[in-house]
Structure 1
Amino acid sequence: DSLIREAAGDAGAGVVLTHDELHALPASGDVAPFKRDEVAYIQYSSGSTSAPKGVLITQKAIIANAHGIMNHGLDISENDRAFSWLPFYHDMGLVGFCLTPMLCQMTVDYLATPAFARRPALWLKLMSDNQSTIAYAPSFGYDLAARRVNGGASELDLSHWRAAGIGGDMVRADMLSEFAERMKAAGFDEKAFVPSYGMAESTLAISFDTLGKGIVVDNVDRAKMKLSQKAVPVSGREILLKPERVRSFVACGKPMPGHQLEVRGNDGKVLGEREVGHVMIKGPSLMAGYYHNEEATRAVIGEDGFLDTGDMGYLLDGQIVLTGRAKDLILHNGRNIWPQDIEWSAEQLDELRSGDVAAFGVEDENGEEQVTVLVQCRLRDSEKREALRRDVARVVHQSAGVECNVVLVPPRSLPFTSSGKLSRAGAKKDYLAGIICEIASDSQTPQMMAAAS
């Protein structure tokens, strides 16, 4: 006891009690009811575009968000059984698969996040065994699981999975289509996909697409979006004949009841359908502010109560379609370039995987942003590395119409947030600081490459 008290005292603990001393204390009265506006917990944002901030979530915000998830987004019933490998320090894991299930008394089976990372296919195996009906993951989670199952889908039974939610990052239609195709033998119905939109500043959920509908892909003219900031739809013929001119997005549904969503221009005016602008939200799920950061709070919450999410997007029949993060946008020769366009096109190359590419703008001596593309390279042969560099430059030019500086870096160089999102801001910072270094064709030995991978 003395050793513990001494250590606790050094740590600044005001009170130190043993179990016996604690049980000897007189019983207290009834637990005081919580107040609606009191802070329940501090949720740190993912920090994908800036330093993480402490988001103050109140009791009423939790109840409002959970109510929307239960009754609107997922229509949870007594017959549902959820499954989650999402970490509890992330809002999707904490609110979506811990607090909400407790409030509606829904059974949840958990798989530790590190266990999923080691064996992604175990997620689907356990869902099959437990006949799970609800599960969520970012797009990359579906991609990892599908690639690891290989030919064993016929041994699984995913026919009970009625709500396969996607959130936490941009929804990738290509990854989801591949997952649905591979899991068809397991009885998975692609109409179970539920694209969603959310963020820590709104407790978790903002919008859900309609249950039982699957994903709705909106194909728009890439060049017109860059020049006019309008999502102009293209015909099926154009998609087939000129796919490089098409950009595809997934609709993420309408806001939950009691919540509002608007898309505004740089002047603050509300935009019409298919006009790309800043996504603004308002409702009972919003945070009380950022912990000990009134300046940052005022920067995102206006006098009208709307919060600037930092996301860009447009409305399609009342549904929100996200196009990317405002801070990630690259301004090159007067054009807006989305880094996702560059990254996703490069990752289609056989030598690369999802998460291997980070694109951002770097100012030159004239103050103009030049496109820089960091590529995690596993190739050891110098000629193959140079071929990869040329291939990346080629597909980037085809998809985005720009010349770029392709920088090959060792595997595991790119930083990711605690929720698994690529941190482009972190990648840019580390690159400019010399923390992420280019692979030199004549100085990086095979042994060094093997150690990095």
Structure 2
Amino acid sequence: MDYGSRQDSAAPKGLLLIEDCLDATGNIALPPGTTLISLIQRNVANVGDATAYRYLEHARSEGHVLEVTWAQLGVRLQAIGARVQKFAGDGDRVAILAPQGIDYVAGFYAAIKAGTIAVPLFAPELPGHAERLETALLDSEPTAVLTTAAAKDSVESFLDGVPRLRRPHVVVIDQIPDSEGERFAPVELGVDQVSHLQYTSGATRPPAGVEITHRAVGTNLVQMILSIDLLNRNTHGVSWLPLYHDMGLSMIGFPAVYGGHSTLMSPTAFVRRPQRWIQALAAGSREGRVVTAAPNFAYEWTAQRGLPAPGDDVDLSNVVLIIGSEPVSIDAMTAFNKAFAPYGLPRTAFKPSYGIAEATLMIATIDHDAVASVAYFDREQLSAGHAVRVAAGAPNAVAHVSCGRIARSLSAVIVDPDTGAELADGAIGEVWLQGDNVGRGYWGRPEETRLTFGATLRSRLREGSHAEGSKPDRTWLRTGDLATYLDGELYIAGRIADLIVIDDRHYYPQDIEATAAEATPMVRRGYVTAFAVPADEASADAAAGSPRLVIIAERAAGTSRDDPQPAIEAIRAAVPHRHGLTVFDVRFLPAGAIPRTTSGKLARVACRAQYLGGAFGAP
């Protein structure tokens, strides 16, 4: 395919062309010296008057728009970077603890421009995540913290409450005059230099800072552009995703490659009124192609609460919807498609995708012109580690959404995690990765880095190996995710850490959680967790040493005063019938009680720990 010819007509002279990023074989090879900052500087020089980022402010007035051009952003980066250089030098960490907004974007890029390592985090006002913020600060040990005038007091108060942390200098982004940029000392950035630490979500273990290099960022952005066919430069982003999340950062990253723009809003603005997201997508759709990304719950929530008001001018015909960050829910896509098909949403809009922070973000997605598809696997065979197709109506059928094909210039193999041997298509194993988009390791954790990023593939398939094209002298990244290949496409089964193992059988929590949600309307959809706990050997109703199944669910709206016992009995009947498992305990909690990560995913490991610690009362 002639990628260059598809861009030239719309590309101002001097901007990066996609063929600049490909070698003679079509593999991704970034131009020498490509960094996030070199991309921004290119945009400043060639499309300086064009909008770079637009922020929809809803806190003080509905839909107030703040904009910054590439030239204005360049001035701000120089000024903020100069102030950062007063307190931090080469390789020092600079944390961003600011509210969502253009100041956050500028602070992130300015820390990198200054030659330091950016640490995108969040302001302390984010409820329920103080422990995660403290963990990341103690781990990264920032020399300086970037914030805004509005958040300064809460940031300083939070820092005062972390006595083990060497107090970083607090820099207030929006109080730095543009004239400060005159003091900026130019820094030469290396493509293999760490640009930022991307902290993992903490869904299955304490957050760890992934060392993301400029090469990894650039490679992954090009992979995203090629995989989702964002080659038309009249493609813009719309995102409410938090900017400390890998997917949120990618949504501000791809305009840097293109010289385009992204429209941003806060996660709170979205949750309170998801119609704002739809309105922003419709506005972007009128300008050209618009791409957005979100996890399952966002699409479900929007289908419930985000329908346009009568008479609203909403046309979603140019929208691309990336769905990921957890095993993709067919129910989420179905609900959203049903709600918004009347507004021109194309059948090809949804792009089920797979990605993780350790690989910068995107690993796989479906073809740009493909419709999201579902395969049905036999539940018993899945428990035994095999994906065997069955009819959709089969009594033991489990739906799995295809995440499509692996991104260009990335190798992904399915491996027996105990032996390091590649498994044949149809077998469930751990996903291992090798490619330039893979991070360098975990900050300050050499042993964990060795175990996760230093895996060796012990054996490959003689025929049909997915390791073709990989480099034998390079190690592999162990993702911790279970998946299989079928017909060249990737299907994600779940996380190893979340796997429920009872009587030597493997059960996937999301499958059991779906059964519980279907059993009774008292369960709040998407807010139920299943996990195993050690058996009480003194208990007469459990086999000695055999783990027991626990289900924790939040109450659906309007059921706070209802007797939970009929719902508990319905779940206790449904789970054995479908999964052959006895349910030891079922708990109903008020809305918001189940712990979630900062990206909105269920934190099953944390929920299990709280249960065992007695947070939900005695069994």
Q: For the superposition of Structure 1 and Structure 2, which TM-score range results when normalised by the shorter chain?
A: 0.7 to 0.9
Distance in 2, matches of 1:100 and 1:316, equals 30
Aligned counterpart, 1:84 = 239
The offset of 1:437, in angstroms, is: 3.1
Are 1:163 and 1:211, in contact at CA under 8 Å, matched by a contact in 2?
Answer: no
In structure 2, the partner of 1:49 is 204
Question: 2:259 corresponds to which residue?
Answer: 105
Aligned to 1:352: 523
C-alpha displacement of 1:188: 0.7
**Mapped partners of 2:428, 2:247: distance in 1:** 27
Cα-to-partner distance string for 1:27-52 (whole Å, 9 max, x where unaligned)? 566x2331121110111000101111
- Counterpart CA distance in 1 for 2:588 and 2:170 is 54
Tell me the alpha carbon deviations over residues 254-308 of structure 1, each in whole angstroms, 9 at most, x when there is no partner. Answer: 1111110000113211111111011111100111110100111111121441111
Question: Which AA in structure 2 matches 1:136?
Answer: A
Cα distance in 1 for partners of 2:297, 2:317 equals 22
Matched, 1:413 2:593: yes
Q: Distance in 2 between matches of 1:387 and 1:15?
A: 54
Unpaired stretches in structure 2, ≥5 consecutive residues: 1-155, 161-165, 457-473, 538-543
Matches within 5 A, 1:164-183: 164-183=321-340
Aligned partners of 1:15 and 1:429: how far apart in 2?
A: 35
State the TM-score, normalized to the length of structure 1: 0.87
Matched, 1:294 2:446: yes
Structure 1, 308-317 or 371-380: larger mean CA deviation: 371-380
Query: 1:179-223 deviations in whole A, cap 9, x for unaligned?
Result: 111111111112211111111000111112101212110111111
Answer yes or no: is the 8 Å Cα contact 2:374–2:399 preserved in 1: yes
The range that moved more, 125-134 or 209-218, is 125-134
- Identity score, percent: 28
Q: 1:168 to 1:13 in 2, by over 3 A?
A: closer
Measured after TM superposition, the shift of residue 12 of structure 1 is: 5.3
- Indicate the SS of the match to 2:523: coil
Query: Paired residue for 1:308, among 475, 478, 489?
Result: 478
C-alpha deviations, 1:321-356, integer Å up to 9, x for none? 100000111111121111111112222332222232
CA distance in 2, matches of 1:289, 1:413: 33
Give 1:269's aligned amino acid.
Answer: A
**1:337-392 CA distances to partner (integer Å, 9 max, x unpaired)?**
1111111222233222223211000011233211111122363556x310010112
**Quick one: structure 1 residues 164 and 363, their matched pair in 2 at CA, closer, same or farther if it must change by over 3 Å?**
same
Residues 16, 368 of structure 1: CA spacing in aligned structure 2 closer, same or farther, 3 A cutoff?
closer
C-alpha distance in structure 1 between counterparts of 2:170 and 2:334, whole Å: 56
Q: Relative contact order (alpha carbons < 8 A, sep ≥ 6): 1 or 2 greater?
A: 1
Q: Which amino acid is the alignment partner of residue 433 of structure 2? A: I
Once the two structures are overlaid, the 10-residue window that deviates more, 199-208 or 295-304, is 295-304
* Bigger mean CA offset, 291-300 vs 344-353: 344-353
Q: Deviation at 1:127?
A: 1.4
Which residue number corresponds to residue 93 of structure 1? 248
Following superposition, the deviation at residue 59 of structure 1 comes to 1.1
Mapped partners of 2:480, 2:180: distance in 1: 52
Say if 1:145 and 1:48 are closer, same or farther in 2 by CA, change over 3 A: same
Whole-angstrom CA distance in 1 between matches of 2:496 and 2:504: 16
**Residue in structure 2 matching 1:157, options 314, 330, 335:** 314
Normalised to the residue count of structure 2, the TM-score between the two structures is 0.64
How far did 1:135 drift?
A: 1.1
Specify the SS of the correspondent of 1:347. helix
2:613 aligned residue: 433
Q: Within the alignment, does 1:233 sit opposite 2:389 as a pair? A: yes
Q: For 1:109-188, list aligned pairs within 5 A.
A: 109-131=263-285, 133-150=290-307, 152=309, 155-188=312-345
Quote the offset at 1:15 in angstroms. 11
The residue identity in structure 1 corresponding to 2:529 is A
Distance 1:333 1:45, change over 3 A: same
Change in 2 beyond 3 A, CA 1:22/1:85? closer
Is contact 2:527–2:602 with CA below 8 Å preserved after alignment? no
The residue aligned with 2:221 is 66
Distance 2:415 2:192 in 1: 29
Alignment partner, residue 401 of structure 1: 580
- Alignment-mate amino acid for residue 549 of structure 2: V
Q: Is the 2:273–2:306 Cα contact (8 Å) retained in structure 1? A: no
1:284 maps to 436
Counterpart contact for 2:552–2:587, Cα < 8 Å: yes
Q: Is the 8 Å Cα contact of residues 259 and 281 (structure 1) preserved in structure 2?
A: yes
Range that drifts further, 67-76 or 421-430: 67-76
Q: Contact between 1:154 and 1:186, CA under 8 Å: does it hold in 2? A: no
Give, as a single letter, the amino acid of the residue that structure 1 aligns with 2:532: G
Question: What is residue 4 of structure 2 aligned with on the other side?
Answer: none
Q: Across the two proteins, how many residue pairs are aligned to each other?
A: 422
Asked whether 1:267 is paired with 2:419, we answer yes
- Which amino acid counterpart does residue 408 of structure 1 have in structure 2? F
Distance 1:282 1:16, change over 3 A: closer
CA contact (8 A) 1:74 1:163 kept: no
Amino acid aligned to 1:260: S
Counterpart contact for 1:254–1:319, Cα < 8 Å: yes
| Range 342-351 or range 167-176, more displaced | 342-351
Question: Does the 8 A contact of 1:217 with 1:251 survive in 2?
Answer: yes
State the Cα deviation string for residues 401-433 of structure 1 (Å, max 9, x = none). 211121223332210000000000000011111
Alpha-carbon distance in structure 1 between the residues aligned to 2:504 and 2:183: 69
* Structure 2 residue identity aligned to 1:300: T
Tell me the distance in 2 between the aligned counterparts of 1:27 and 1:151. Answer: 49
User: Are 1:216 and 2:373 counterparts?
Assistant: yes
CA distance, structure 2, for counterparts of residue 141 and residue 20 of structure 1: 36
Name the structure 1 match of 2:545.
367
| Aligned-partner residue type, residue 408 of structure 2 | P
What is the Cα deviation at residue 178 of structure 1? 1.6
Worse-superposed segment, 344-353 or 203-212? 344-353
Q: 2:403 aligns with which of 252, 258, 267?
A: 252
Q: Which amino acid aligns with 1:114?
A: T
How far apart are the structure 2 equivalents of 1:16 and 1:406?
A: 48
Paired residue secondary structure (1:178): helix
Moved more, 392-401 or 326-335: 392-401
Q: CA deviation at 1:25?
A: 10
* Aligned residues of 1:221 and 1:232 also touching (Cα < 8 A): yes
Q: What amino acid does structure 2 have at the position aligned with 1:400?
A: H
Residue 39 of structure 1 contacts residue 58 of structure 1 at CA under 8 Å; is this kept in 2?
Answer: yes
